[in-house]
Structure 1
Amino acid sequence: MNNPSAPKKITWIIGLISGILGIIGHYIDVQFLTEHNYILLLIGFFVLAVGTTVKGV
């Protein structure tokens, strides 16, 4: 198994924004965000997980 590495800044920002939008959609009634809040959280987690697993992402 590879050692985890820090993701690139843009990868980290995309994952963070996606996760924050998912949380906002869960607590505040914004039509698009509320409909897709779990998908946004999943995408944010997946981007951060891939960013730490694959070197150079």
Structure 2
Amino acid sequence: ALHYSVFYGRIDNTINLIKAGANTSLLDYDYMTYIDHVIRDTYIEASSEILDIGEFFY
């Protein structure tokens, strides 16, 4: 679900999934984590927002 929310640009859902305890280290079929997709596929503003929330939960 985390990868899909990033893929479809649902940053709000991505943040909620992380807060709810989604596994942030899962790899997809390209061997990429959700954060790899954030960095590759989204705007810098969204990337920094998700990185901030992700660091809080590590």
Q: Shared fold (TM-score greater than 0.5)?
A: no
Relative to its length, the structure with more helix (as a share) is 1
Give the number of the structure whose alpha-carbon radius of gyration is greater.
1
Which fold has the larger relative contact order, with Cα–Cα distance below 8 Å and residues 6 or more apart in sequence? 1
